[in-house]
Amino acid sequence: MGLLSDPSRRKVLTGLLTRLNTPICIVCYLAGIVWFMGLAFEPFTLRTYMSENAMGSTMVEERFSSGERALSLAKEFDAHKRKAGGMPVEWLVKAMQSRGLEVFTQSFSRKLPFPDENKERYMVRGTNVYGILRAPRAPRTEALVITAPCSPGNTNNQAVALLLALAQYFRNQIYWAKDIIFLVNEHDLIGTQAWLEGYHHTNITGMEYSPLQGRAGSIQAALSLELSSDVITSLDLVLEGLNGQLPNLDLANLFYAFCQKLGVLCTIQGKLQRNDWDTAEGYTHAAQTMMLMVLKQACGRSWGDHGLFLRYHIEAASVRGINSFRHYKTDATTIGRLLEGMVRKLNNLLERLHQSYFFYLLPSLSRFVSIGYYMPAFGLLAVILLLRVSFPGLCHCFSVSLQPSSPGVLTVLTPVVISHLTGVALYLLPVHLQEMAVEHFPVSETEAVVLTAIAIYTAGLALPHNTQRLLSGEGTEQGWKVLKLTALLYLAVLLGCTALINFSLGFILAVTLVPITASITPHMPKALYALVMVLLSPAFTILYCVFIYQELIEAPVSVSEGWMLFLSVISQGILDHALYGSLVYPLLALFIYPCWLMFWNILFWN
Amino acid sequence: MAAPLTLLLIVAVTIRAVLFRSSLAELISARVEVVSPLNAWKRVVEGLALLDLGVSPYSGDVFHETPLMIYLFHFTVDYAEIVFIVSAYFVDCLSCFLKPLDRAKMAINSNYLKSDLLFNFPGCCELISWFITIIVCLCFCKFHFLCTCKYTDVRLCHQIADGITALALYLSIQTYNKDVFRKQKYALESDRYSADCLELLRSPKEMFYIPLKVAMFYLLNPFTILSCVAKSTCGLNNAIIALFIFCTLKGSALLSGILLALATYQSIYPLTLFAPALLFFLQRLYIPVNLRRSSFWFFTLQYAFMYVGSLVVITGLSFFLLGSWDFIPSVYGFIFSVPDLTPNIGLFWYFFAEMFEHFRLFFSCVFQINVFFYTIPLSIKLKEHPVFLIFMQIAIISIFKSYPTVGDVALYMAFLPAWSHLYRFLRNIFLVSCVLLACSALFPVLWHLWIYAGSANSNFYYAITLLFNFGQILLVADYFYAYLRREHHLTHGLYLKKKDGTEATLVLK
């Protein structure tokens, strides 16, 4: 408190901050970026370790041996799938019943707000089949879930077959203390969503589904299995869930531990771990892996069936089999053993997974960066906004704006309200106006939605400052300073809250928004700064992310392909919001974009 | 002045009515920041149901309102229309009662009538009753449209409570400003202020809008709106405290004593407001605070008697209404021993959840003493400025009470415009407002991460609670310092010089 109450020291501090404001801001920005990039450097990260006692010290011996039988089952399943032209519900029910499970089905239907062109679906109708293996050893108050999506075509047959083989094997074991639910869901995430909502008696997305006939206890953990070939070269672990939520790190540790034990190659973000951290290639590799995780987390969608479980406080991860051109192959028996081991350890849990971290970034499977290490990177960026707020000219405005009768507050109110109304339009209109757009223009519904969104976004650039000028005439010097103060504070709070819920999203937005918003004034060359502002606006951020993502997964795209991908990303974002309740689209449309418009207003103040 | 106030009331009522009807109302009424176990509407409904069944409402461990409150709601629910009419007449009578007092005061001060002209509202009491009648009529109409379920009309009760609080605060600050201006005039005439502090003096022009701003700060504060929409009974407690301040400033010792007793009965802590009220009356009656003077003791005993007497009457009344003393442990025991550790914006829950059971008594004493302890030093330091002392006390109560909600915070924040002349001496106001703003946004975010996402834990939420309270304490301390500093400058001159002629700085130690 001495620093704040001693007037002479205060004066020195404020003098320092005022004089060196710009250099300090630049240093903070660069330090933030460097800190973030440094997170991938191995000496700065921690080695992963198993925190959960119940899973760590207990020995488990894997005995699953019916991998061959699983593969023949896969062929049978494939044949039935082809015959039924979708999910062979009756065959699955019979197959599960014959393995001694309590089997139930759930039908669901969902009309998408507009056709999904990536997956070619609009009216979705399907059935989930699930079987419950009751625990012989304990009261049935807790459960585990193993799920395999029944995908169209001949993908994922092996996953369903392995699921059935595991069910048969598990049925004969006596050590289960938790019910195990084997779920085969249709229409990937929509099916999972319907099943989870049915299981928890909620309805948050307007899905129509039949109630579940059989339930087990509260679900402790879930594993989703995706397997499309008889042999695989490596297993990939997918963690990113809805709204950037991640499962407890112990689940990743568990997977890694069993991969090590059984000698299976394991990857994360499709990237193998390298041991040469001290070389440039080694570092780049780790940085790429981490960047991929950041990009995937930032987009807020669920990257596998597990992502929706996380919302219900269920730790879940997807395990994806990858078959590439390596010589070293792993057969179905080993994958089965791996899953058996993981489920048995989860079965030993005495309480929910909570010991380890929930906020982390993974530069490789054996290294992690916890919240305490990565938050400073964001903090360094956010502090710039606060430094600019306390910039003396602005601080003085604060005193003026304290008096509600002064004109400052009212001149600020107009642009704030107009920006937010534009944001509301961007949020509501695309989906609601699609029919009108389709009537008048030669486009499909999906294109109509995306193009309307882009049109409103662009129109927003012209709208606010023109209306502002019409309403209150020439802006005053005082006016823009108060507006900038409000906007900077607003942005700081907004980014802070975003970074807490979804660090990656907050960080990416901060990287692009902070430099321009911190330096903007009306006295700059308009054309140049307008261009820079547009190039650093939220929509362009998404575009850059699309290109960087494609570059990182080693599938670079040309500009036109990138543009098409950008359009599909927008439509997917809107769909994710409507179908699963992803929050990225409303956040961008209702808060970030209006906030950015406020800065746009400042540039064109007079 | 009447037109903006009416407009303000209508805007405030509209915002609340819209929120009441939207789906947000349910969400808000479940927020731990807005409702506490003491004042949650859900619990009142439970108590009402028990009462209807003929069971003591305190027989479960859910209901912690005072008996008078539950009977008030019981009555409101059953005889809503009568209550509204009666309350209109009640306010009418109140103002009629106050009017002669006003007149008497004016007669005393007739010498200074000219200077007072700007602030003088001989008809202000009629105006209040007029406004309240308007609200009541408004609500009455709404009652007929909105009354869909049994407890719907209780919303109006909360709206009216907010309206009354704002009006009471408005009139109190108006009275206070008149007082301040009169005193300033005296001091100027008797040359008590130093010559170079003219710019510190307050002008009628800048004081003119302050009462309106105070009402606005209360009615349009998001905290108040949330609290009202959640139907937290905190709004009613605030109304009682605001009426108490109003009666005190109007100089009615009896009503002030009764309302203070009512406020104490509601939630114990306003007990500490006894000291400022007493100081105010002593100052008003020109009785010096001197322990050897019999007039001092005479008035103190008189006021204490009125206070304790009404407290006894009210408690006795509750006993006769309820037929048992169940409510004492259930209300006051609940406040003191803090058995409900639901997280809130206060400092208690985390500590009490963490500590060993055998330290509980010791720590509840230590924590509770905070509220009461500051009364003594503050009363000594601020004995010349009882109204500022009231503000400090309310702020301290809302920071250190065992189950604070944002509604309590809103009450003392409403006073901030009244001290707008202190702005030039405030040092950390900008930092503090940023902290409070950020915390208000982070509360729901961290709650979401802790309870729904399961990824954060209680430490995250408590960190924000600590920061929020730190911000509040800094705010109050800053205002305290600024107030003292202004007083110092008024007597010693604005531009202080050290002995060697350089500019001096004031340090609070």
Q: Which residue of B has its CA nearest to A492?
A: B438
* Contact: B454, A358; criterion CB under 8 Å: yes
* Contact: B438, A492; criterion CB under 8 Å: yes
Confidence check: pLDDT of B106 > 70: no
> Is A489 near chain B, with CB under 8 Å?
yes
> Is B496 near chain A, with CB under 8 Å?
no
d(CA A7, CA A11): 6
Contact B304, B311 (CB under 8 A): no
Contacts 24+ apart (CB under 8 A), A374-377: A374/A36, A374/A39, A374/A503, A375/A499, A375/A503, A376/A35, A377/A32, A377/A33, A377/A35, A377/A36, A377/A39, A377/A507
* Contact: B420, A489; criterion CB under 8 Å: no
Contact A24, A17 (CB under 8 A): yes
In this structure, chain B runs to a length of 509
Contact A593, A586 (CB under 8 A): no
- Give A-chain residues touching B479 at CB under 8 angstroms: none
> Is B27 near chain A, with CB under 8 Å?
no
Contact B504, B497 (CB under 8 A): yes
Mean pLDDT of A585-596: 93
pLDDT at B149: 46
* Contact: A489, B448; criterion CB under 8 Å: no
- Give B-chain residues touching A500 at CB under 8 angstroms: 442, 445-446, 449
Confidence check: pLDDT of A548 > 90: yes
> Is A490 near chain B, with CB under 8 Å?
no
- Strands ordered across the beta sheet of A367-370: A46-47, A367-370, A360-364
pLDDT at B122: 41
Number of alpha carbons in the 13 Å side-chain half-sphere of residue A368: 22
Nearest to B338 by CA among B305, B313, B361, B372: B361
**Cα-based torsion angle of the residue sequence B78, B81, B87, B88 in order, rounded to the nearest 10 degrees:** 180
* Contact: A496, B442; criterion CB under 8 Å: yes
What is the count of residue pairs from A and B with beta carbons less than 8 Å apart? 61
Minimum distance, in Å, between the CA of residue B107 and any CA atom of chain A: 35
d(CA A276, CA A289): 15
Nearest to A445 by CA among A459, A435, A455: A435
> Is B452 near chain A, with CB under 8 Å?
yes
- Give B-chain residues touching A7 at CB under 8 angstroms: 505-507
- Give A-chain residues touching B506 at CB under 8 angstroms: 7
Nearest to A4 among B428, B437, B453 (CB): B428
Number of alpha carbons in the 13 Å side-chain half-sphere of residue A163: 34
* Contact: B456, A358; criterion CB under 8 Å: yes
d(CA B207, CA B88): 30
Q: What is the pLDDT of residues B250-260, one digit of tens each?
A: 888 899 999 99
d(CA B287, CA B306): 18
Contact A370, A46 (CB under 8 A): yes
Q: Which residue of B has its CA nearest to A498?
A: B445
Nearest to A510 by CA among A530, A528, A531, A494: A494
Tell me the CA end-to-end span of chain A in Å, nearest whole number.
42
- Give B-chain residues touching A5 at CB under 8 angstroms: 427, 507-508
Can you tell me which residue has the tokens 């399961």? B454
Token pair listed for B206: 């800048």
Phi-psi region of A272 (alpha: psi -120 to 50; beta: other; left: phi over 0): beta
- Give A-chain residues touching B454 at CB under 8 angstroms: 313, 352, 354, 358
pTM: 0.86
* Contact: B430, A402; criterion CB under 8 Å: no
pLDDT at B108: 41
Contact A478, A400 (CB under 8 A): yes
Minimum distance, in Å, between the CA of residue A313 and any CA atom of chain B: 6
Q: What are the CA-CA distances from residue B360 to residues B345, B347, B348 (Å)?
A: 20, 15, 11
Helix, strand, coil content of chain B in percent (nearest 5): 75, 0, 25
Nearest to B434 among A8, A310, A489 (CB): A489
Confidence of residue A520 (pLDDT cuts 50, 70, 90): confident
Contact A397, A479 (CB under 8 A): no
Number of other residues whose CB lies within 10 A of the CB of residue B501: 7
Token pair listed for B380: 């000594």
* Contact: B427, A395; criterion CB under 8 Å: no
Minimum distance, in Å, between the CA of residue B299 and any CA atom of chain A: 40
Mean pLDDT of B331-335: 91
- Give A-chain residues touching B455 at CB under 8 angstroms: 245-246, 358-359
Q: What is the pLDDT of residues B267-317, one digit of tens each?
A: 899 999 999 999 999 998 888 888 888 889 999 999 999 999 999 999 999
Chain A residues 324-363 with a CB less than 8 Å from chain B: 352, 354, 358-359
Q: What is the pLDDT of residues B419-461, one digit of tens each?
A: 888 888 888 888 888 899 999 999 999 999 998 888 888 899 9
Number of other residues whose CB lies within 10 A of the CB of residue A440: 9
> Is A403 near chain B, with CB under 8 Å?
yes
> Is A371 near chain B, with CB under 8 Å?
no
Contact B376, B193 (CB under 8 A): no
Confidence check: pLDDT of A468 > 70: no
d(CA B105, CA B95): 15
Can you tell me which residue has the tokens 């294109």? A447
- Give B-chain residues touching A501 at CB under 8 angstroms: 445, 448-449, 453
Mean pLDDT of B63-72: 88
Minimum distance, in Å, between the CA of residue B95 and any CA atom of chain A: 30
Nearest to A358 by CA among A497, A250, A223: A250
Side chain identity, residue B388: F
DSSP-assigned letter for residue A48: P
Interface test with A, best of B216, B430, B474 (most A CBs within 10 A): B430
Confidence of residue B141 (pLDDT cuts 50, 70, 90): very low
Q: What is the pLDDT of residues A18-36, one digit of tens each?
A: 788 888 999 999 999 999 9
In the beta sheet, which residues pair with residue A317? A223
Mean pLDDT of A298-323: 90
Minimum distance, in Å, between the CA of residue B376 and any CA atom of chain A: 24
Q: What are the CA-CA distances from residue A209 to residues A195, A333, B421 (Å)?
A: 8, 36, 63
In the predicted model, what is the mean pLDDT of chain A? 86
Mean pLDDT of A460-465: 74
The question of ipTM being above 0.90 is answered as no
- Strands ordered across the beta sheet of A266-268: A208-209, A102-116, A121-133, A179-186, A142-150, A218-226, A315-322, A234-238, A266-268
Token pair listed for B163: 């309206």
Q: What are the CA-CA distances from residue B308 to residues A221, B243, B256 (Å)?
A: 60, 18, 12
> Is A582 near chain B, with CB under 8 Å?
no
* Contact: B455, A405; criterion CB under 8 Å: no
* Contact: B449, A4; criterion CB under 8 Å: no
Interface test with A, best of B455, B460, B470, B505 (most A CBs within 10 A): B455
Q: What is the pLDDT of residues A116-137, one digit of tens each?
A: 888 888 888 889 999 999 988 7
Between A9-18, A283-292, A354-363, A480-489, the lowest mean confidence (pLDDT) is in A9-18
How are beta strands A367-370 and A234-238 bridged, if at all?
Answer: unpaired
> Is B438 near chain A, with CB under 8 Å?
yes
Contacts 24+ apart (CB under 8 A), A398-401: A398/A485, A398/B430, A399/B423, A400/A478, A400/A482, A401/A482, A401/A485
Q: How does DSSP assign A93-139, residue by residue?
A: HHHHHHTT-EEEEEEEEEEEEEEETTTTEEEEEEEEEEEEE--SSS-
- Give A-chain residues touching B427 at CB under 8 angstroms: 4-5, 10
Helix, strand, coil content of chain A in percent (nearest 5): 60, 15, 25
Backbone φ and ψ of A65, nearest 5°: -135, 0
> Is A372 near chain B, with CB under 8 Å?
no
Confidence check: pLDDT of B105 > 90: no
